[in-house]
Each structure stands twice: as structure tokens, then as C-alpha cells.
């Protein structure tokens, strides 16, 4: 047992760290750090820089741009991206669609879609949730009926993150209406330009357009866009959700937020000094940091174990990471609002020439929106209550 990073791992960390901080444009990283919206161009620019370096999809098969990294290297890479406030490679392309297609797709599908997904030439979004199918995802109703060489898709998806940018959507659709609910589901790739698709924005708490409803009205989809076998889509979805959960602890993201809070606290006047001189505030920051350190080690333990297993079954331990990771992400955003204090209320219009910064602070108006927005992290990706069920069944045998 040696719990320190090896010299090679430290050298790798330094390489990623330097690259992130020198090659990814500072204005993009600043937006990420402040929790402000990124434009589609921001995502594309950042991802293409990573992809040119061969670092957009390191966890994919090498044939499609993957790197033969150890689990610890993959962990280091992700953490460094977070800590440098680099946008992660577009998550639906890289962590969901890509791994599913690489594992279950046909060779011609892989060749057609994977290189474009890695370079963000195509923007993929996820069509899983429906108005009546949230935590109980398998009760989804969007149907695909075979008509010659096509499926005809009718129904509605919701919470489609950044669907307004999307070129393609990977969807779970019902193809067998007699089978038990998990059995009759298929995994279908649909061109967002297809006639019959309508995208309607949903504004979330902080007022941003991050998610959408997507309506399908007799949308014709070529049968060749089916992934794997018909009616096996639930297996692919489970594989995808387990992948989603692994990265969901976002320890580096919370670390970056805490580091920023410490920085800003030293500049926020309070009493005779600053907020950083307030032992009560510092103690609350320390408590989050301590728990985060523990989660970081837990994450590495899970990563080291996953590196060994060939199984595609989700490790229930990843549910633990999701629960605690989401709680800590939220705790950090709460600390930020607390730090903004009375200025947290202000929501001035921002724009060129604006001279209305609350108290003169350029970050305080983004604090509450970031807190509002982060309420989602204990809901998406399988709500924390669902993760509790997964652990109760999968680890405790209850």
C-alpha cells in the first residue's frame, strides 16, 4: 500500500495542470469559475483544444481517441480540469453517448459518430426523462413504431440539458408495448433537424436557459440509427448512468469553489477585518474541506477498484460518491451566498459599460444563481434518494 502519488503521477498532474492553465482561454475559465453561462462557442473552443492534444476522450477505446491511462491518471486529469475551471469535455458526447456507442454500437456507427463527437463537431443531448418518467425512468412512454426502414417516433422528452445547441439526441424509446416495462425499451439516435421535432426552453431557478422540452411528432428515424439490439436499450442506459455517476462527485469542482471562497473571503470586509477573520465562517469552510478530503480518498479508492474490474455493471459505491459529492457541491455554493451576504440579493443587469456592481463586487450577483442552480445536483443523474435505494439493495442487501 502506498497512498502517495508516484513520481510519474506527479509529472502527469503537472503536465495537465500547466496545459489547462496555459492553453485554455482565460476568459472561458473565468466564466466557469464564477458560475456564469458558457456559450456554445466556449464549449467548442475548449473541447477542440483538448481534442487536439488527444485529451478530450481519454477514457474511450484507443481506436477512437482514448488513452491507455490508469484509473488514477484519469482521476488526476479530471480533477485538474475542474481545479483549473476548464469546462469538462461536453458530458453527453464524451461520458454518455461515446462510451455507450463504443461498447454496444456497430462499427459503421462508431466510425461515423465517434470522431465527430470527440471534436464536438456534433453536439449530442440526452433524451431520457419524460414528464411522467423521472426517477422511475423505465415507465417512459415515447414510442417508436417500425415502418419499413424507419421508426416513427412520437412523444415528449424533458430536462434535455443544452438541447438548444444539439445536432443529435440519443433517446430511450418504447419499441415493445407488451413486454415488462424495462424490456421493451430501445436506444435510438435521432437527428435534431428531423421534421417533427420541436424544442421548447425551460428556465430554471436562476433564470437561465439550460434545459428544454423536446417534442416528437411522427419523427421518421432510419432503422440503422438503432444502437445495439431492439428492446435492449435499458441495459445500455444502466451502463450509461453508471458512467455518469462515476464522475458526478466533482471533487475538483468543489475544491476550486472552496479555494475561490477563501480568496474572496479575504477581500470581503466584515467588522474590523474581513470575513476570513471570522472564526465561525472559517470553521464552516473547514468542515466542508475536511469532508471533501475524505471524499477525495473515497473517490480514489473507487477508481482504483474500478480499474481492475472488467464488469460493465455499475459499482454501487459510485452511488455513494454521487450522494456525498452532490451534497458538498451544494454546501460550497451555500458558503458562497453566505459570503456575499447582503449583496447576494442584488441581480443587476450585466453588460458592457455597466457600472452598477453591488458594493463594487463583481462576483456577488452570481452567487445566489449558482446556489439556485446547484439544487439540481442532488436530483439529476438519479436522485439522491434513488442512490440510497441502489446502495441499500446493491451493497447492504436490504
Partner 1 sequence: MDFDLNEDQSLLRDSVERLAADLYPSLESRQARLKAPLGFPTEGWAAFSELGVTGLPFSDEDGGLGGGPVETMLVMEAVGRNLVVEPLLASLVLGSTALRLGGSAAQKARLVPDLVSGDLRLTLAHTERQSRYDLADVATTARRSGDGFVLSGAKSVVPNADAAGLMVVSARVSGERRDAQGIGLFLVPADAAGVAIEAYPTQDGGRAAEVSFSEVPLPGDAALGDPEAGLPLLERVVEHGIAGLAAEAVGSMDALHTLTVEYLKTRKQFGVSVGSFQALQHRAVDMLIQLEQARSMALYAAMMVDTPDAAARAAALSAVKVQINKACRYVGQEAVQLHGGIGMTLEYIGAHHFKRLAMIEYQLGDTAHHLRRITQDANGLLAA
Residues in contact with partner 1 by CB under 8 A are: 1-6, 9, 72, 262, 279, 282-283, 285-287, 289-291, 293-298, 300-301, 304-305, 317, 320, 323-324, 385, 388-389, 391-392, 395-398
Q: Which residue, 90 or 318, is less far from partner 1 as judged by CB?
A: 318
Closest approach, Cβ 275 to partner 1, in A, equals 13
Q: Which residue, 72 or 173, is less far from partner 1 as judged by CB?
A: 72
**Beta carbons within 10 angstroms of residue 14's beta carbon:** 12
Q: Which residue, 45 or 298, is less far from partner 1 as judged by CB?
A: 298
**Beta carbons within 10 angstroms of residue 49's beta carbon:** 18
Closest approach, Cβ 333 to partner 1, in A, equals 19
Closest approach, Cβ 303 to partner 1, in A, equals 9
Closest approach, Cβ 289 to partner 1, in A, equals 6
Q: Which residue, 114 or 335, is less far from partner 1 as judged by CB?
A: 335
Assigned C-alpha cell, 215? 417534442
> To 5 degrees, how large is the angle CA 150–CA 173–CA 202?
115
Give the contacts of 351 (CB within 8 A, at least 6 positions apart): none
Beta strands (DSSP E) in 234-332 are: 269-270, 273-274
Neighbouring-strand partners of residue 321: none
Closest approach, Cβ 301 to partner 1, in A, equals 6
Give the contacts of 99 (CB within 8 A, at least 6 positions apart): 59, 60, 239, 240, 243
Closest approach, Cβ 306 to partner 1, in A, equals 12
Q: Which residue, 200 or 305, is less far from partner 1 as judged by CB?
A: 305
Closest approach, Cβ 83 to partner 1, in A, equals 10
Q: Which residue, 131 or 273, is less far from partner 1 as judged by CB?
A: 273
Give the contacts of 74 (CB within 8 A, at least 6 positions apart): 58, 59, 303
Give the contacts of 327 (CB within 8 A, at least 6 positions apart): 378, 384
The sign of the dihedral angle between the CA atoms of 372, 256, 322, 235 is: positive
Closest approach, Cβ 291 to partner 1, in A, equals 7
Distances (CA, A) of 222 to 15, 149, 194: 44, 6, 11
Q: Which residue, 7 or 27, is less far from partner 1 as judged by CB?
A: 7
Q: Which residue, 57 or 390, is less far from partner 1 as judged by CB?
A: 390
**Beta carbons within 10 angstroms of residue 290's beta carbon:** 10
Q: Which residue, 145 or 379, is less far from partner 1 as judged by CB?
A: 379
Q: Which run of H or E residues covers position 80?
A: helix 71-83
Backbone angles phi, psi at 51, to 5 degrees: -65, -35
Looking up cell 421508426 gives 151
> To 5 degrees, how large is the angle CA 58–CA 330–CA 77?
15
Closest approach, Cβ 290 to partner 1, in A, equals 4
Distance CA 176, CA 180 (A): 9
Amino acid at each position: 500500500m502506498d497512498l502517495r502519488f508516484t513520481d510519474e503521477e506527479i509529472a502527469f498532474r503537472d503536465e495537465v495542470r500547466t496545459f489547462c492553465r496555459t492553453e485554455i482561454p482565460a476568459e472561458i475559465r473565468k466564466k466557469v469559475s464564477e458560475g456564469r453561462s458558457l456559450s456554445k462557442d466556449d464549449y467548442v473552443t475548449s473541447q477542440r483544444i483538448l481534442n487536439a492534444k488527444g485529451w478530450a476522450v481519454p477514457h474511450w477505446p484507443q481506436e477512437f481517441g482514448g488513452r491507455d491511462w490508469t484509473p488514477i491518471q484519469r482521476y488526476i486529469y479530471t480533477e485538474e480540469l475542474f481545479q483549473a475551471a476548464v469546462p469538462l469535455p461536453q458530458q453527453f458526447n464524451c461520458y454518455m453517448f461515446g462510451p455507450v456507442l463504443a461498447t454496444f454500437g456497430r462499427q459503421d456507427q462508431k466510425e461515423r459518430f465517434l470522431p465527430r463527437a470527440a471534436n464536438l463537431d456534433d453536439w449530442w443531448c440526452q433524451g431520457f426523462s419524460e414528464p411522467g418518467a423521472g426517477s422511475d425512468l423505465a415507465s417512459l412512454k415515447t414510442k417508436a413504431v417500425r415502418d419499413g426502414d424507419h421508426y416513427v417516433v412520437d412523444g415528449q422528452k424533458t430536462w434535455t440539458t443544452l438541447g438548444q445547441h444539439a445536432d443529435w439526441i440519443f433517446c430511450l424509446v418504447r419499441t415493445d408495448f407488451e413486454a415488462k416495462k424495462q424490456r421493451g425499451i430501445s436506444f435510438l439516435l435521432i437527428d435534431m433537424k428531423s421534421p417533427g421535432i420541436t424544442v421548447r426552453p425551460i428556465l430554471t431557478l436562476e433564470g437561465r436557459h439550460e434545459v428544454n422540452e423536446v417534442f416528437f411528432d411522427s419523427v421518421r428515424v432510419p432503422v440503422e440509427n438503432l444502437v445495439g439490439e431492439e428492446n435492449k436499450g435499458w441495459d445500455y442506459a444502466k451502463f450509461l448512468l453508471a458512467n455518469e455517476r462515476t464522475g458526478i462527485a466533482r471533487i475538483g469542482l468543489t475544491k476550486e469553489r472552496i479555494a475561490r471562497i477563501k480568496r474572496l473571503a479575504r477581500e470581503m470586509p466584515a467588522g474590523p477585518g474581513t470575513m476570513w477573520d471570522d472564526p465561525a465562517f472559517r470553521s464552516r469552510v473547514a468542515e466542508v474541506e475536511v469532508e471533501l478530503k475524505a471524499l477525495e480518498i473515497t473517490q480514489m479508492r473507487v477508481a482504483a477498484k474500478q480499474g481492475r474490474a472488467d464488469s460493465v455493471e455499475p459499482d454501487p459505491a459510485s452511488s455513494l460518491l454521487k450522494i456525498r459529492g452532490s451534497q458538498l457541491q451544494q454546501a460550497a455554493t451555500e458558503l458562497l451566498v453566505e459570503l456575499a451576504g447582503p449583496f447576494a440579493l442584488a441581480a443587476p443587469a450585466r453588460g458592457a459599460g455597466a457600472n452598477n456592481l453591488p458594493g463594487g463586487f463583481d462576483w456577488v450577483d452570481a452567487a445566489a444563481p449558482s446556489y439556485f442552480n446547484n439544487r439540481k445536483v442532488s436530483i439529476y443523474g438519479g436522485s439522491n434518494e434513488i442512490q440510497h435505494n441502489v446502495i441499500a439493495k446493491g451493497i447492504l442487501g436490504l
